[in-house]
Structure 1
Amino acid sequence: MALSDSELILNPDGSIYHLNLLPEDISSTIITVGDPSRVHLVTKYFDSIQIEKGSREFLTHTGVYKGKRITVISTGIGTDNIDIVFNELDALVNIDFSTREIKNDKIQLDFIRIGTSGAIQADIPIDSFLLSSSAIGLEGLLHFYEAGHVRNKDLQERLNNFLGWNQHNITAYAVDSDENLRNKIYSNRIRLGITVTNSGFYGPQGRSLRLTPKISDFNEKLASFLYQNQQITNLEMETAGIYGLAKLHGHRAVSLNAILANRATGEFSTNASKTVDNLIKYTLERLVS
């Protein structure tokens, strides 16, 4: 059945509504970054750039790195933007825009997030790299989808029972990274951990400037949780949405985090730009290795 104009929204040139992209503009390997200015920091290493398009906070470059075609797209901050980006990227490859019908033969995409993050365990060094083996969503995106089959139900049940935050209207969901893509990207340069995705940067991550967070021991409570000998290691704002929507669409995803802050020790990186650049170079090499 054809999708209506109000569901699949296309621009006059036939591009998808928010991203302003055509199906031929993207590769099956996609690096996501939050900040639009970080797109160029990745593609400056490309041998060639074929596509440069932008709309709102969504900047896209597609090019070639050592013979591999890769797309880099900025998502902006938060899983509300992830909802837009991942649904529209999937539509580009799995919906026929001419008939407005879902294709029978689906294309699988690989998503690699290169982002920044703050650790909540004191022993995680500033400027280190962390791969999110699983993600905990505290922002609620997956509650709007029939997503039970992609969740790590044991992890989320144990965490919700441990936190006891139902009184605060907080119910966590959990999704794992793709094992095969994780194995491709992982090396002994990277730590594995459980990442929490938050709905904001200040109160939702236990920060206090002039406003007092409702949960006073937010980070300490998360840091004390243990699941199958794994700790919750870091906080950020996109990974759980990425893992959830990727799995729901049949795609693969991993999230790589440059640890720029340690909330337990109060430190912040003095070499943030260099750390992010090192993670970019590491990721590109793992993708072509």
Structure 2
Amino acid sequence: MKEALANANFPQDADGRVYHINVKQGEVANRILTVGDHVRARAIARWLDSDEEAGHPTFIHTSQRGFLTITGRYKGVPITILAIGMGSPMMDFFIRETRAVVSGTMAVIRFGSCGSWTERAKLGSVIVPRAGFCIRRNLDYFSDHPIYPELAKSTPYLVSGTFDADAEMTDQLAGNLKSVLGKLQEETDGAVGPVVTGGLNCDGCSFYSSQGRQDPAFWDDNKDLIEHVMKVHPETDCSEMETSMLFHLAKCSVQQKIKAAGCMQVFADRVGNGFIRPEVVTVLEPAVGKAVLDTLVSTKIEDEMDPVGTVWECVNKPSV
């Protein structure tokens, strides 16, 4: 921490910079592509307009807490690419702190990787869920002195209801992905694709226990977890740790609207116990990143921020 902060409830410095992401008003655009991986964020940023095309330099900032913010323009439209790391708490930091410094509607698409729970989504597929839910470890079940004994006895894992993605943005994203990946399927002899839509994503509170991975070194009681979850939510396609939390927080934004959608590459086949090959990722990630950017720039934003005074204000005449 370099600057004095005020307000323990929502820490910001004298310039209005939020605590963890370390950005202020005018540094994050209304349209945001979020990923976990810094390398993925920088790779996608290659699609952004050049400084000459945009009329301003691309803004790049890494916070002390490890959040990478890249703001520029794509096809002339202001866009932020933000790498947040992994897990629901990181999604919570990201959404709350960007919401605090962005006025007007926010459009957020999460682009990540996942484990597939269905045979229709093989390695190299891209899943676009219509909604998501969360799985949380029931800590009282494992406690020596549970606060809620009856809950402690009931189940080691708690499964939530569902949270819808933005339907219009989800449909647009799926269409853009199908257009791009249809060609790549032929070029890669089926190693990439298809696009899987209409199902559910589940967020675990961890990569291991709450996603049903077996670890003999720990007491997890999760041997039957996936089977149980599929009975509760039979339309589940995949699991990861962030996208359903995004949908949940978008629903809970009560003062200003957040439109949320997500897509994830199938890296892990939980049915056949396989993992994606690096050369497939090299082909897949740039194509998916571009499809997400195309979706964001076509998304309508109400009360979009005035560029004057922002990092995307044109300071030079854009090249034609």
What TM-score, normalized by structure 1, do the two folds share? 0.79
Structure 2 counterpart of 1:200, from 197, 206, 212:
206
Partner of 2:302: none
Whether the aligned pair in 1 keeps the contact of 2:87 and 2:242 (CA below 8 Å) is yes
1:172-226 CA distance string (max 9 Å, x none): 2321101122122122723222001001111221112433530212223334555
CA apart distance, 1:43: 0.5
Q: Judging changes above 3 Å, is the alpha-carbon distance between structure 1 residues 285 and 93 closer, same or farther for their aligned structure 2 residues?
A: closer
Structure 1 counterpart of 2:227, from 220, 223, 248:
220
Structure 2 distance, partners of 1:40, 1:272, is: 15
Structure 2 distance, partners of 1:139, 1:72, is: 28
The residue type paired with residue 123 of structure 2 is I
Q: Judging changes above 3 Å, is the alpha-carbon distance between structure 1 residues 194 and 259 closer, same or farther for their aligned structure 2 residues?
A: same
Whether the aligned pair in 1 keeps the contact of 2:210 and 2:222 (CA below 8 Å) is no
Whether the aligned pair in 2 keeps the contact of 1:184 and 1:287 (CA below 8 Å) is no
- Percent identity reads 25
CA apart distance, 1:87: 0.6
1:210-257 CA distance string (max 9 Å, x none): 335302122233345556xxx101000001210111121121100111
What TM-score, normalized by structure 2, do the two folds share? 0.72
Partner of 2:85: 76
Structure 1 counterpart of 2:118, from 113, 117, 121:
121
Q: Per the alignment, in what secondary structure is the counterpart of residue 102 of structure 2?
A: helix
Q: 5+ residue gaps in structure 1?
A: 95-106, 141-164
Greater C-alpha radius of gyration: 2
Whether the aligned pair in 2 keeps the contact of 1:68 and 1:288 (CA below 8 Å) is yes
The residue type paired with residue 120 of structure 2 is D
Q: Per the alignment, in what secondary structure is the counterpart of residue 289 of structure 2?
A: helix
Q: Per the alignment, in what secondary structure is the counterpart of residue 264 of structure 1?
A: coil
Partner of 1:252: 259
Partner of 1:183: 171
Q: Per the alignment, in what secondary structure is the counterpart of residue 33 of structure 2?
A: strand
Q: Per the alignment, in what secondary structure is the counterpart of residue 126 of structure 1?
A: coil
Structure 1 distance, partners of 2:269, 2:38, is: 24
**2:131 maps to 1:134:** yes
**2:36 maps to 1:34:** yes
CA apart distance, 1:276: 2.2
CA RMSD of aligned residues (A): 2.1
Partner of 2:142: none
CA apart distance, 1:282: 2.1
Structure 2 distance, partners of 1:226, 1:210, is: 27
Partner of 2:306: none
Whether the aligned pair in 2 keeps the contact of 1:121 and 1:223 (CA below 8 Å) is no
Whether the aligned pair in 2 keeps the contact of 1:29 and 1:109 (CA below 8 Å) is yes
Structure 2 distance, partners of 1:67, 1:91, is: 25
CA apart distance, 1:13: 3.9
1:25-44 CA distance string (max 9 Å, x none): 01110011011222101101
Q: 5+ residue gaps in structure 2?
A: 1-5, 51-56, 138-152, 179-194, 299-320
Number of residue equivalences: 247
The residue type paired with residue 251 of structure 1 is I
Q: Judging changes above 3 Å, is the alpha-carbon distance between structure 1 residues 278 and 220 closer, same or farther for their aligned structure 2 residues?
A: farther
